[in-house]
Amino acid sequence: MSSFEEAETEETITCLHMTFYHPRQEDKMMFRCLNFSKRQQMRADETSKFGRDSNVCQHNLMDTRVSRIQFSLQFYRKLNSSEFSFEIKNMSKKTKLIVDQTELGYLNKIDLPWKCIICFGDYQIFAEIQEGESMDYFETHLHLAQVPISQERCLPALQPIPEKGISSSLFSSQNKSPMEIDENESC
């Protein structure tokens, strides 16, 4: 037998790709401490934290308007399944976290959809899970968007989420029906 035949089977690792955008990222440089060049591997029992406290968070956002711990991601395996996923929890007492259309208050958590947009303040993050097999590790791979996520993904313009609750512009006294768009039309 050759060493190739005796080698351990290589497992793929679940990777969470996250693309960050802020309208003032060029002049405020709030992403300067994020590592966009390579994947970061973490143990499955570790929680990945995002915020401005570098003593606690693995992913630092250099902005005084960001909470010390803004949100956390926990890797887990779904019950009675071989499928892995992430749970996202809002760790900010001041700012709501929006995951697609779901608003999370302080300490609220939900399963992260396999593809979604996360918003808080003026921040937009497109998250996409790349499935893997490893039960011991997961990876995060960070990217930087040059245009708003809503524009890049052909979505309706996203309203910034104010630090204290929801903007009144999100709610209108007029009951407007959603507009249908043909999937073959471009943005």
Distance separating alpha carbons of residues 160 and 168, to the nearest angstrom:
11
Quote the pTM value: 0.75
CA 103, 123, 144, 184 torsion: positive or negative?
Answer: positive
Q: What type of residue sits at position 66?
A: V
Task: State the Cα–Cα distance between residues 121 and 135, nearest whole angstrom.
Answer: 34
Fold of 3-170: Tumour Suppressor Smad4 (2.60.200)
Structure tokens at 50: 């995002």
> Residue type at 29?
M
Could you tell me the two tokens for 45? Answer: 């029992």
* Domains of the chain, residue spans: 3-170
Using 50 as the pLDDT threshold, list the residues of the chain that sit under it. Answer: 166-187
pLDDT digits (tens, 9 = 90+) for 72-106: 999 998 888 888 999 999 999 999 999 999 999 99
Per DSSP, what are the bridge partners of residue 21? 124
Residue 145: closest CA among 164, 117, 169, 176: 117
Rounded Cα distance, 107 and 121, in Å: 17
The token pair at 75 is 């890797």
Cβ contact 30:63 at 8 Å: yes
Tokens of 68: 């010390």
Q: How much is the pLDDT for 81?
A: 83
Do the Cβ atoms of 134 and 41 come closer than 8 Å? no
Average pLDDT, the chain: 83
